[in-house]
Every structure is written in structure tokens, then in C-alpha cells.
Amino acid sequence: MLIKRKIQKNVEKVLFKGKVIILYGPRQVGKTTLIKQIQKKYSVISLYLNCDEPDIRDALCNKTSTQIRNFFGNKKLILMDEAQQVKNIGQTLKLIVDNFPDIQVIASGSSSFELSNEILEPLTGRKFEFILYPISLSELTQIYSKLEISRLLETFLIYGMYPEILLNLENRDENLKSIARSYAYKDILKFQNIKNPDALEKLLRALALQIGGEVSYNELAQTVGIDKNTVSNYIQILEKAFIIYRVGTFSRNLRNEIKKLRKIYFFDTGLRNALINNLNNLDLRQDVGGLWENFWIMERIKYLSYSGREANYYYWRTRQGQEIDFIEEMDGKISAYEIKWNLRKFKAPKIFIETYKNSEVKMINKSNFLELLL
């Protein structure tokens, strides 16, 4: 069964506009499937290149524009999968854009710390960038009704939204653990700044146990046994590998608003649960609140990203303990969401309403969670 990805139409809108298209996303979320679906529409003029293959890397690395043109032949749509594997890929892509405006390149990468670093300067003003996330609930409406999605919600929270897991429920436990073992660290551990892989794994587990809560780098450093700067560095790498997502504090007008802490969520709750080896049902868990908060926030981020809408994301808390789980700042408007699994009523902190008069505050629970996701 194939689920058509929402982002496909966004990518196709910018084809042949004179810029490289960069497609980021975690491993195993369907980047290869996506670009091959696009390739089907342009099969006569397209060329798929798997950059994990040594001979493909050699053909693209440090070559002249003439050599590149000869390698492409008469193809006009070039699909480079795992492009970060090609040394100096940024310079190669720059040569293509500058010398062959009739050729469209789509380059995918699972690790933005490698690919984005390579292309940042060479492709300034020469690229469109997209992120492919695990399957979104809005994409699942292709195969499930809203009622069925609501009935399967617990399964999604526990096992996440990776395509392989959603479409192969019989072996989901082992497949999910395999993704966690085989793919979560593949790009990270070979990265030059990772000198202590055991500490990285401990840090990731510590973060997994704190979803929905505020994170202190000092406390993490003490827990893991490394210094604060290393914690900060590793967290940046985990974020660029599309494993975690940082959300900072919202602070504009009040002295007592907390300014320096942050929350860290996982791109996929299933991967998070596999990392701590807890795939228990919700009635056997102590982390339902944080798990639910993580799940809904990432679904909201997916929805807005695929809709082409850019927002800044925060949470809000004062030193007196008043808080709101999730804040969106978009188009000059502030939208605030309190995300609770069972809570039916919520009264927004009076000081927030009075300070941010044009804001909207909404309770999100399992009875209305789809309203802002489809």
C-alpha cells in the first residue's frame, strides 16, 4: 500500500525553476519512495542516483562541468538519493545550477549536519528546501476515516508513524526496534564530533525520559557524565539528524517569564519508546501525558510544514509555575495550546490573557485533537 505524501505537490510546484531542490528527513521515512514517485512522472528524462554506491560518488565528486554533463547524458531530472555521501556535493550542485539551467536536481539527505553544511555557502540563493517527516495523520486519511484514526490513536502514540511500522503491523515491535538500532545512530556516530558514543546513547535515553518536561543542560551533563558544552553539541547533532526537536520558551513582556530553559521532543514517539524499550499499552505507562504532548505537537508541526506555513514554536512558563504547553507565533498572531490526554476543561492563566491580548488559547485533548491536524 502506498500513501501519497503531502509534500510531493509542494516539491513538484518548484520543479524546473532554476534551483536545486533539497529534501531532508530522517532515515526510513520514505524519501526514496517519494523521489521515485516523482521520477515516474518524468521517467523518460530522469536519472536516479543512489549516492550510497561508491561508483556514483566517484562520478559526482570533484568533477568538471563537462564530466558531469557527460555522466548525465540527455537526462533533465536528476534524483540524488543520500547526497550527503558525496564529498564536496555543494560544489557539484553549484556547477550544475550555474552551467545547466535546464537540468533539475533533487538531492535527498538523512543528515542535515552533513548535507546542509556542504551546501550552505555554494547554494546560497540557489535552492529550495523541504523536510519529509514520518507519516502524518492528515496523510493517513487516505486509508483511514477520522473515526478509525481516533480508534488507532493509542497505537500511533506507542508505535509512531514510520511508514514501515504503519504498513506492517504484524512485525511492528521488531521492526521498530530495528529502526532504533540500525538507523537512529547511523549518520550520527560517524560524524567527526562524536567522540563518546556511549555518552550520546545515555543522553538520548535521558532526553527520552523527559519528554513533556523542561530540560536543563547542567542536569543532563551530571546525569550523563559529560560537560555542559558537550551536551549542547550532541543535542544540536541529534536535532540535525532529525531525531529530536527543540522548543524554547516564549518570553516577550513579563519579567517573571522563564527565558533560558527548553523542551525537547522526538520526531517520532515510536522511535522514542523503542529507545527506552517501552512499548507497553497506555494503561501500563506513567508517561502518557508527555507522550501525548510530544505526539500532538509533532503532528501540528507536520501539518503546518506541509501546508507551506511558517511558524515559530515555543512553550510558556512563569517562575510562579503558570504554564501553557505549546505556543505558535505565525503571521503576527499568537496561538496557545494546552495539551492534555484526559482533561476536559482548562482555564488559561489570567496573566497570559491580559499580557497577550490578541492571543487565542485552546485546550487539546483526545476528543478534539484532529481539528487542527487535517
pLDDT at 40 over 80: yes
**pLDDT for the residue 116:** 67
The model's confidence at residue 2, banded by pLDDT at 50, 70 and 90, is confident
| 132 DSSP assignment | P
Question: pLDDT tens digits, residue range 60-81?
Answer: 999 999 999 999 999 999 999 9
In which order are the strands placed within the sheet that holds 104-109? 46-50, 77-81, 104-109, 20-24, 127-131
Q: How far apart are CA 330 and CA 297, in angstroms?
A: 15
Q: Which of 332, 331, 333, 335 is nearest to 348 (CA)?
A: 335
Cross-strand pairs, 266: 244
Q: 373 with 299: CB under 8 angstroms?
A: yes
Q: How far apart are CA 238 and CA 267, in angstroms?
A: 10
**pLDDT for the residue 358:** 87
CB-CB neighbours of 350 under 10 Å: 9
The model's confidence at residue 187, banded by pLDDT at 50, 70 and 90, is low
pLDDT at 43 over 70: yes
Q: 228 with 221: CB under 8 angstroms?
A: yes
Question: pLDDT tens digits, residue range 89-135?
Answer: 888 999 999 999 999 999 998 766 566 666 767 788 899 999 999 99
Q: How far apart are CA 63 and CA 89, in angstroms?
A: 10
**pLDDT for the residue 258:** 79
Cell output for 186: 547511523
**pLDDT for the residue 190:** 64
CB-CB neighbours of 297 under 10 Å: 24
The model's confidence at residue 185, banded by pLDDT at 50, 70 and 90, is low
Residue with cell 515510536: 270
Cross-strand pairs, 323: 317
Question: pLDDT tens digits, residue range 301-337?
Answer: 999 999 999 999 999 999 998 999 999 999 989 999 9
Q: 246 with 240: CB under 8 angstroms?
A: no
Q: 324 with 257: CB under 8 angstroms?
A: no
Q: What is the 3-state secondary structure (H, E, C) of 263-321?
A: EEEECCHHHHHHHCCCCCCHHHCCCHHHHHHHHHHHHHHHHHHHCCCCCEEEEEEECCC
Question: pLDDT tens digits, residue range 207-259?
Answer: 999 998 999 999 999 999 999 999 998 898 888 888 999 999 998 877 877 77
| Mean pLDDT value of segment 266-284 | 95
State the chain's mean pLDDT as an integer. Answer: 91
| Ordered structural domains, the chain, with CATH | 7-131 (3.40.50.300), 137-364 (no CATH)
Q: How far apart are CA 367 and CA 117, in angstroms?
A: 43
Q: How far apart are CA 323 and CA 349, in angstroms?
A: 7
**pLDDT for the residue 132:** 96
Q: Which of 163, 210, 160, 205 is nearest to 185 (CA)?
A: 205
Q: How far apart are CA 123 and CA 97, in angstroms?
A: 9
Sequence-distant contacts of 246-254: CB under 8 A, at least 24 apart: 247/297, 247/313, 247/314, 247/315, 247/326, 248/314, 248/315, 249/314, 249/315, 249/316, 249/317, 250/314, 250/315, 250/316, 250/327, 250/329, 252/355, 252/356, 253/355, 253/356, 254/318, 254/351, 254/355
DSSP 316-371: EEBTTS-EEEEEEEETTEEEEEEE-SS-------HHHHHHSTT-EEEEE-TTTTTT
pLDDT at 9 over 60: yes
Q: Rounded to two decimals, what is the model's pTM?
A: 0.93
| Terminal CA-CA length for the chain | 21
**pLDDT for the residue 261:** 84
Residue 32 burial (C-beta neighbours within 10 Å; 0-12, 13-18, 19+) = middle
